[in-house]
Structure 1
Amino acid sequence: MLVLAFDTATPAVTAALHDGERVLAESTTIDARRHGELLVPTIERVLSEAGAALRDVTAIVAGSGPGPYTGLRVGLMTAQGLATTLGVPAYGICTLDAVAYGSGLSESFLVATDARRKEVFWARYADLRTRLDGPFVDRPSEVPVEGLPVVGAGADLYRDIFGPSSSGPGDVPPYPYAGALASLAAERLAGGTPLDPPRPIYLRRPDAVAPGAPKRVTA
């Protein structure tokens, strides 16, 4: 098994390679505006660091969101293109699941990421592997925290609303780093857990809209 995983649903452009037992290489750049420019060089970097070739990859995994439309589709289209070229399966894993898995938490908690428009994408978990509810998109004040720890970049961004419980353990990563995504995918594949196809989780319409018909100008 050689799993290539990457995510572009958040400002983190991240990729990792996993051999079924451990992460061989991982690379992440935080840049919300250059997903398209950074993803392929990031993939090439982790392959080089691991001493592997793209033809050696046996599965492609992409974070499926939720996330902004433009960034999210970069990763999913790349996953589909690579899978077709290599003749290997492509899968999608909820980006919030990767944040949860990377948290290492064994008790109930929430994951929240920045959804822009003063909103967060969030989901509730029983532990790092088990999502109970979500994903949803809401204003931070509408998220039913109920005293649970909240982790992720959204928790940091709206700490004043989520309260002191939003901090969680100090070493919880704010983004869905690909090492966690690859490890979760490898674990599910080895255990025979079905994985979803690489389809986007948008939760709302894209910000960009097609222009309407020009208005009539009268004298």
Structure 2
Amino acid sequence: MHILAIDTATAATSVAVVDSGGSVRCESQVIDARRHAEAIAPLIRDVLAEARVDASAIDLVACGVGPGPFTGLRVGIATGVAIAEGRGIPVVGACSLDVIARRAVRDYPGSATVLTRARRAELCWAAYDEHAQRLAGPLIRSENDLDIHGTAVGDAGPVDVVMYPQALDLADLVAERLAGGETLPGSVELPEEGARESGAATADILHDRVRRGLLLLPARPLYLRRPDAVVPASMGGGA
């Protein structure tokens, strides 16, 4: 099975192609928080070429679903969903903090705390044990309200090591969970994009799966805040 993995939840745009047998492992990454949209298509093209894998051979698309800043996060997810829908293949999401944690505990044995940029002087936070199993989070925390367990990694706040989610780790996480019997979340009923209350309802569904320890998520952005904007009552937003 060939997996195309994409993550744009941080300043990094990361793309990888792997096969479940391990014979194909190609990855490319650009770190620039303002160039996700410009970088993603060339990265996909170049990684497929390096791997000598035709786009028609991709069996599954995996997307990092954040948490992360709105614009960059949606670039990767929208691209992954479009590729999957165009080819009629499954698409699955995974928490980008979980992806970082895999590399953190491998490179720096022991527990880890992952911190990424959430804007508004806040951070996305999650804590992990030495096996990259999530102990708490993901949550939004202020820099003055952080519990640090083990090595702090990520791209914001008081980190010991700067680290971004890498698409190879995302692909490995998805492949391992599928091999272990976790099913794709294709049966999860999600509200239509743009429907009233769809953002809040989708967030509740994603958060429920995260709380239950399920690592494979629908390919929708994992936001940790409720939307700031609300529909005015005069436009049908209700009382």
Determine the C-alpha separation between the residues in 2 that align with 1:54 and 1:206. 36
2:129 is aligned, of 126, 131, 134, to: 126
SS in 2 for 1:142: coil
Deviation at 1:21, TM superposition (A): 3.4
Question: Would you say the 8 A contact 1:112–1:153 is kept in 2?
Answer: yes
Match of 1:93 in 2: 94
TM-score (norm 2): 0.76
Is 1:151 the equivalent of 2:172?
no
1:203 is aligned, of 224, 227, 230, to: 224
Q: In percent, how many aligned pairs have the same letter?
A: 43
Determine the C-alpha separation between the residues in 2 that align with 1:140 and 1:130. 23
Q: Structure 1: which 4+ aligned runs deviate by more than 4 Å?
A: 209-212
SS in 1 for 2:129: strand
Deviation at 1:191, TM superposition (A): 1.9
Q: Deviations over 1:77-135 (max 9, x none)?
A: 11111111111110000000110011215532211112222211010112343112110
TM-score (norm 1): 0.83
| Alignment root-mean-square deviation, CA | 2.0
Determine the C-alpha separation between the residues in 1 that align with 2:112 and 2:230. 39
Instruction: Please give the residue correspondences for 1:1-219 in structure 2 after superposition, counting only pairs within 5 Å.
Output: 1-22=1-22, 24-103=25-104, 104=106, 105-145=108-148, 148-154=150-156, 158-159=157-158, 166-167=159-160, 174-194=163-183, 195-205=216-226
Deviation at 1:205, TM superposition (A): 4.7
Question: Would you say the 8 A contact 2:111–2:132 is kept in 1?
Answer: no
Determine the C-alpha separation between the residues in 2 that align with 1:31 and 1:210. 31
Q: Return 93-102 or 176-185, whichever deviates more.
A: 176-185
Match of 2:210 in 1: none
Letter of the aligned partner of 2:154 in structure 1?
Answer: G
Letter of the aligned partner of 1:11 in structure 2?
Answer: A
Structure 1 residue runs without a partner (length 5+):
160-165, 213-219
Determine the C-alpha separation between the residues in 2 that align with 1:78 and 1:63. 11
